Every structure is written in C-alpha cells, then in structure tokens.
Structure 1
C-alpha cells in the first residue's frame, strides 16, 4: 500500500496504549512521523524504541495545567510543525451517578473535555498560519445517545460531539478539517471497571471491537481528498445491541 501520509507530522494523545497506540502504528505505516503524547514515560520509551525514528516521545500529563499548556510548544520545538492532531486521551466511569465521587467526576471531565479543548485551542494558531491541518478527536457512540449505565462518561462525550462539530464550522474556512471517530465498546483499559460478567458476555457475543478497527477509520478520514471532511465515523461491533 502507498504511504498516503508520507512526510506528515502527527501528534497523538494517550498514545501509549489502546486506540492511541493503534493509531500511532497505523500513521507510521502510512509514512507519517508521530509524536506520542502520554504521561507514562517508561511505556513511551519502550514503544518508541520498538517503532523506530518515526515515533517521538512526548511526556505530558494532560491533567496538570502547566504540562498541558506546554504540550504543543514542546512538540513544535521537536518537529517544527503539526499536520495532524489526534486528541485521544480519555478515561471512563460507568455505573449509577451516586456510585462515583466528585473527585473522579472532575478528573474525567478535565481529561475527556477540558484537555481536548485546550489542546485544540493551542494548535489552532499554528494550523491557521500554515492554512492546513487535521484535527481528529476520539469520541464515542455514547456521545450520540444517553447511555443510562454511564451518565458521566456519556455526558462528557456529548460535550465533545458538540465541541468538535462547532470547531469544524469555525476552522473549515482556514483549510483545517475537524472530525471525530465514535467507537462502540473497544477492547482497552477503559473497560477495566465493567463488571467481569458483563465484559466476558460482550467478548463472547462479539460485541467488542479492537483498537485497530478504530485506527483504520481514522486513517480513512485522514487520507480523503482535502475537499472532503468526514465529520464523524461511528464504528460499532456488529453485534452491539444499543
């Protein structure tokens, strides 16, 4: 397959595992260099050694205000430009609202919503100056319908759907494409707090997808002609019943 993103520079948050890692590997396979953003320095060191020169480590804690604010400037100091920003880092809370605590709610909203808005805000001047760029955000099918067993998570993803689609309209006149990918349940650490019986039942019924199936969708979005924007791709397990 041709390297359709040859020479592009991408930044992927939450890149040390799950969808972020799968997207990193897919981008590199298409010829891009990828700045892997994660707070886990040890994991980044191992992964970048395995992936080679096209993988660049960027240790950032998106929940730390100073570290989050420094992310884009530090990436630009390393690479000189950002062609693609994939805001992927996130966390999950399931269960009834009263089963969690307010500190955990704050952490989720800060990572799933606030950090995304900050990262996008920080990269916009650079992309506007260059009159080109792609911003992709990992959303969720939970951002399209009220999921009663995950009200905080679903609420955060509804907020992201609104944010992405408003920014798409703000930035398209500058040559910047903005879109989101909305997966159903993905085999990843985000499902760690699912009840064991529910998780096993989902696996047994074929109601989970792999991170690579999400990264395939992201590559499709990024490799369309510049006159085409894929505003959202909903990627579901065939047997997912919702």
Structure 2
C-alpha cells in the first residue's frame, strides 16, 4: 500500500542539479515541501522561484566544516520538522589512481563519505525525538562491485553502502527507515570528466539513464507503508554492461 507525501517535509543535498533536482521536483509533485541544499546560491534562487513556495533554498557548503555543521539547525529554523533527508551530494573521480592527486581524493572522500555521515548524525536526534523519519542516500552500482577504472569512487560508494546498511539496522527499531538508491551511469555533472567519445557512445547505445529515472525509484521507496523498508534499489540502464 502506497503512502502519500502530502504535508511531508524533505531536505535534499546537491539539490540544484541532476538527481537532487529531479527528486526535488518529484517530491513536490507528490505533495511534499523540499528544502533544497546546495552551495550554488544563484541556481537555488532561480530554481525555487520556478518551483514556488514548496521549494525552500538552503545555501550550504558541505565541504566547509562550519557550514556543514549548521545545515540541519538552519533547516529547522526554516521548517517545523524534517520527515525525509536525502543525502545526494557527491562527486566523481575516474581513471587510474595515479592519474589523480591527493587533494582531489581528499575532496571526493570528504563529500561522498564524511559529509553523508555528518548529515545523518546531525538529523538522527531530531528524527528519534519524533519517532519517525526516512533517510535515503544516493549510492551507486559502483558500491556493489570493484570497478577497476574508478577505484577511488568505487571505494567511496562501498563505504557508503556499509554505512547505510549499518545505520538501517541501528535505527529500524526507532521508527526511522534508512535505505539507498544505487544508480548506474546517470546523465549528470558527475560524468563531466568522461571523454566526449565515450559519453556519446554511451548515450547512443542506451547505456545511460536520466536523473528522473532515479527519482522515480526514490519516490517509490518513500511511499511504501511504514512496515516496509526498501534497503537498496539498483537502477541500471538496460544496456549497461560492466
């Protein structure tokens, strides 16, 4: 039995583009209000103006420790409570390990892993106090298998998968559902370092999916009756083959 999202309040990180924006639009269409978290203040202003009063801007630089720590408190100054946290912000590194530098590795691991843990840690007391909540993390199919052409990214998503599933078991007796969505390649800014020829071949062969196809999965997860937890949804392009 599906539940409605009318009156629910969600916060989505990395909400100004890609999966975050598609999920924002899907949740608003389903009746929720969404706090859109992103560091791009200009993009947030334009998007919230387009989406109307159900979209609320929250400018946060997740890689700045102070800004990250203030995210949940600042959100709760703007809305009465949070029913849903979607930890979606992330970045990508592909190629051989020696082709990147350590500063880029640090940045990616901080955003893909540490920030997720911090955001979840900060929202959990609020959800425990209310006795309900949903936490969804954007993971990746790369968190389910060792992909040799993206060892840093794949490792970060393995870490996220472990974190999500341990937190699911920590919180499932407290009325809080924790799950993840694990897409294959999505047409988004994360593929910006793909070689143009590789990207075009993937598009032509049907080996990429749209952000909206991931947000459809997230909406399905969030609208299940409370006795059901979707622990992970792997969403792949039909022609994707690794």
- Normalised by the length of structure 2, the TM-score is 0.99
Structure 2 CA distance for aligned equivalents of residues 203 and 82 of structure 1? 37
Residue of structure 1 in register with 2:102 after alignment: 102
Runs of at least 5 residues in structure 1 that lack an aligned partner in the other structure: none
The match for 2:188 is: 188
CA contact (8 A) 2:16 2:38 kept: yes
Query: Can you give the 5+ residue segments of structure 2 that lack an aligned partner in the other structure?
Result: none
Q: CA deviation at 1:182?
A: 0.1
CA–CA distance in structure 2, aligned partners of residues 199 and 98 of structure 1: 22
* In 2: Cα distance, 1:154 partner to 1:194 partner: 16
3-state DSSP class of the match of 1:216?
helix
SS in 1 for 2:230: coil
Residue 25 (structure 2) pairs with residue 21 (structure 1): no
Contact kept? 2:86, 2:137, Cα under 8 Å: yes
Secondary structure of the equivalent of 2:154?
helix
Aligned-residue CA RMSD (Å): 0.9
Q: Post-superposition, which runs of at least 4 consecutive aligned residues in structure 1 deviate over 2 A?
A: none
Match of 1:159 in 2: 159
Question: Deviation digits for residues 90-124 of structure 1, max 9, x if unmatched?
Answer: 00000000000000000000000000000000000
> Take 2:143 and 2:164, find their aligned partners in 1: how far apart are those partners?
11
Number of aligned residue pairs: give it: 241
1:3 Cα deviation from its structure 2 partner: 8.7
1:93 aligned residue: 93
Deviations 1:169-199 (A, max 9, x none): 0000100000000000000000000111111
Aligned residue number for residue 203 of structure 1:
203
Tell me the equivalent position of 1:34. 34
Secondary structure class of the residue paired with 1:95: coil
CA distance in 1, matches of 2:7, 2:154: 36
Instruction: State the TM-score, normalizing by the size of structure 1.
Output: 0.99
SS in 2 for 1:173: coil
CA distance in 1, matches of 2:117, 2:3: 30
Aligned to 2:52: 52
1:64 paired with 2:85, answer: no
Contact 1:85 1:136 in 2 (8 A): yes
